[in-house]
Chain A
Amino acid sequence: MSAEHHHHSQIDQAAWAKSLILFGLGIYFAVLILTGNLANYINLRFAWLAYVGTALFFLLGLVNFYACLNPRRAHSHHQISWDNLLVVAFPLLLALLIPSRSLGVEAVSGGIGLSPVGVERASALTRNPLDRNILDWLRAFHRAPTPAAFNGQSVDVSGFVYREPSMGEDEFMVSRFTMSCCVADAYPIGMPVRSSAAGEFAPGAWVRVRGEVLADLFQGEFAPIVHADAIALIEEPAQPYLYP
């Protein structure tokens, strides 16, 4: 009898822990949505997924909670082991321990792409040059009949500063990660920037770069190079990634 009792109280503890983890994950999802940090992780085209997740976590949490309060109605056939609970709690621990951040310059491994990703939309070509973001510029540039097609056009883009040892004192790349669905497919792209003030900006800093585009060779291939008139430090945008 006492052995059975012991077994049951263990099940109870695990059941309480289960409810706690389910509620915890529900709260985590809700916080991601409310703070806007969701944009650090997935393309907001799929934000509805997070709403579904929040609702289901709370639903399952409530059912489990109710079952804990009314053990007779519990239908659990088995106990979830403690190491299993720990693994499922791992994302919560990680989210609590490490503040939410978007992928930035530290996440660049193996250089920044100069080619556009995704299908090329004609809108990139016809759009007002000042409204083009980095992705639009690279797309337009790669569709243009000659590299010089955009020479002299005004440019106004923002991104983070990326620098390689091979770059000159007066150079950096203004870069953004593109993201189709979630950070799993994030890919960094960028435009080279030339300015006498370039050296003042630390890697990773978010900047708004204004100036004029001139096509030139950069690391062996033609690229739209921004000759900057003004570079200003800015806050990281609410949507840090570009959506192809």
Chain B
Amino acid sequence: MRIDHPRAASPLPIKRVAFVLLAASILSALLYQSLHAGDDLYLTASVFATRFLGIFVEAVPFLLLGSLTSGLIETFVKTDDILRFLPRSRLGAALGGTLLGLVFPVCECGVVPVTRRLFRKGLPLSMGVAFLLAAPFMNPIVFASTYIAFGFGGVLIGRALLTVLVAVIVATVIGSFADPREVLKPTSAKAGEDCSHHHPPGGPGLRAKLFSAMQIGGDDFFEMGRFLILGSGLAALLQTFVPQDSLLALGSGPVMSVLFMQILAFLLSVCSTVDSFLALAFVNTFSTGAIISFLSFGPMVDIKSTLMFTGVFRRKIVLYLVLLPFVLNLLAGVLINVALGY
């Protein structure tokens, strides 16, 4: 068996540093809180544990589904198949990427391993980025949950239009980098050879293929799961130590309400399949533009997906992937508010 994975050869110190930092910040935050408020350290730890495990329990089934999808793509989709159907232009690829979610129904936790796998299968950058940003909304499950929460109307249509618009713009910008190696980490770039090359010609049977798909899915779960866990930990820390009311007080007016809801979407890191129900809780408090921006921005970027991005993209690109959707959604949300006369 070949061991050709670069990560095994050079363990990345960044991950270890991040882990140590997270552990240290949890400890120091707990200590600070216990000294500061005279609170029982144990109770604070228990609040953190409940918040962390809540996010984890809700998100991890979706990551498992995404990892399995990634394994199935690896074993059943040939690189040539993908390359044959590709649109030629960058804009066409980006538009196509936004629709790819209908083929691979994944939420924001599942989309990252699938995107990484598709990149390794040779998917062009702009298409992959558009898929990454749009798929968490552009899939039947999230259509359904948004419809159940808001019915067919302005919020559902606004969410869909804004998601596609932002995904296409960001994908076109990042797609303009000529060399994918500037954008992707070595582990995500197109592999020189396919998985199938390790097997004797003729290919293994269906059972063996399913077996290996599940093994690859398991590996993906571990590789992506650590980012999900680090991100859930950060989100839980913030929720444990930053009072909600101090945030709510900031969020009024056509601009600030949008800004606030986007920051909230980033911090809460709620899965896109259920975020409509969460947004429903804010309908009476916040402007329509803020709700639509929340629903468009949240599935694209949040704490845990940002950490997962760092497993696929180079750091400069992760910055683009966070800031561009943030600014574009903010602009759109404010414009909607102005148009509606807030």
Q: Which of B51-59, B87-95, B313-321 contacts A (4 or more CB under 8 A)?
A: B51-59
- B47 near A107: Cβ-Cβ < 8 Å: yes
**Distance, CA A63 to CA B104, complexed state (A):** 23
Known: A42-B58, A84-B15. A103 touches B47 (CB 8 A): yes
- B270 near A182: Cβ-Cβ < 8 Å: yes
- B221 near A60: Cβ-Cβ < 8 Å: yes
Query: Is the CB of A30 closer than 8 A to any CB of chain B?
Result: no
- A98 near B46: Cβ-Cβ < 8 Å: yes
Query: Is the CB of A101 closer than 8 A to any CB of chain B?
Result: yes
* B217 neighbours in A (Cβ, 8 Å): 60
- A95 near B53: Cβ-Cβ < 8 Å: yes
- A74 near B1: Cβ-Cβ < 8 Å: yes
Count residues of chain A with CB under 8 A from any CB of chain B: 70
**What is the CB-to-nearest-CB distance from A2 to chain B, in angstroms, rounded to a whole number?**
16
Q: Which of B4-12, B159-167, B170-178, B254-262 contacts A (4 or more CB under 8 A)?
A: B4-12
* B230 neighbours in A (Cβ, 8 Å): 87
Nearest CB in chain A to that of B221: its residue: A60
* A42 neighbours in B (Cβ, 8 Å): 54, 57-58
**What is the CB-to-nearest-CB distance from A117 to chain B, in angstroms, rounded to a whole number?**
5
Known: A101-B50, A184-B239, A187-B281. A76 touches B11 (CB 8 A): no
* A67-121 residues at the B interface, CB under 8 angstroms: 67, 73-81, 83-88, 90-91, 94-95, 98-103, 106-107, 109-111, 115, 117-120
Bits for B56-70, please: 1 = Cβ < 8 Å to A, else 0.
Answer: 111011101100100
Chain A interface secondary structure, helix, strand, loop or mixed?
helix
Bits for B208-243, please: 1 = Cβ < 8 Å to A, else 0.
Answer: 100110111111011101100110010100011111
Nearest CB in chain A to that of B60: its residue: A53
- B57 near A50: Cβ-Cβ < 8 Å: yes
* B271-329 residues at the A interface, CB under 8 angstroms: 271, 274-275, 277-278, 280-281, 283-285
Query: Is the CB of A59 closer than 8 A to any CB of chain B?
Result: yes
* A88 neighbours in B (Cβ, 8 Å): 221-222, 225-226, 229
Query: Is the CB of A205 closer than 8 A to any CB of chain B?
Result: no
Query: Is the CB of B80 closer than 8 A to any CB of chain A?
Result: no
- Of B51, B52, B65, the residue contacting A52 (CB under 8 A) is B65
**Distance, CA A117 to CA B1, complexed state (A):** 57
**Distance, CA A67 to CA B5, complexed state (A):** 19
- Of A77, A81, A84, the residue contacting B2 (CB under 8 A) is A77
**Distance, CA A76 to CA B46, complexed state (A):** 37
- A84 near B8: Cβ-Cβ < 8 Å: no
- Of B43, B54, B219, B223, the residue contacting A183 (CB under 8 A) is B54
Known: A41-B58, A106-B46. A111 touches B4 (CB 8 A): no
Chain B interface secondary structure, helix, strand, loop or mixed?
helix
* A27 neighbours in B (Cβ, 8 Å): none
* A7 neighbours in B (Cβ, 8 Å): 3
- A109 near B68: Cβ-Cβ < 8 Å: no
- B277 near A180: Cβ-Cβ < 8 Å: yes
- B50 near A103: Cβ-Cβ < 8 Å: yes
- B278 near A63: Cβ-Cβ < 8 Å: no
- B19 near A75: Cβ-Cβ < 8 Å: no
**What is the CB-to-nearest-CB distance from B43 to chain A, in angstroms, rounded to a whole number?**
4
- B15 near A182: Cβ-Cβ < 8 Å: no
Bits for B2-38, please: 1 = Cβ < 8 Å to A, else 0.
Answer: 1111011001000110010000000000000000000
Known: A29-B57, A80-B223, A81-B8. A73 touches B211 (CB 8 A): yes
- B11 near A83: Cβ-Cβ < 8 Å: yes
Nearest CB in chain A to that of B4: its residue: A77
**Distance, CA A207 to CA B30, complexed state (A):** 29
Query: Is the CB of A20 closer than 8 A to any CB of chain B?
Result: no
**Distance, CA A144 to CA B208, complexed state (A):** 65
**Distance, CA A73 to CA B40, complexed state (A):** 51
What are 28 A-B pairs with beta-carbon distances under 8 A? A18-B222, A40-B50, A49-B58, A52-B61, A60-B214, A60-B218, A63-B211, A66-B211, A73-B211, A77-B195, A77-B216, A78-B4, A78-B8, A79-B3, A79-B8, A83-B15, A84-B222, A88-B222, A90-B233, A91-B52, A95-B49, A101-B46, A115-B284, A120-B284, A178-B281, A183-B50, A183-B51, A183-B54
* CB-based closest 9 A-B pairs: A78-B5, A110-B243, A183-B54, A110-B245, A181-B274, A53-B61, A75-B212, A87-B226, A41-B54
Q: Which residues of A contact B (CB under 8 A)?
A: 7, 11, 18, 22, 25, 29, 32, 38, 40-43, 46, 49-50, 52-53, 56-57, 59-60, 63-64, 66-67, 73-81, 83-88, 90-91, 94-95, 98-103, 106-107, 109-111, 115, 117-120, 178, 180-187, 244
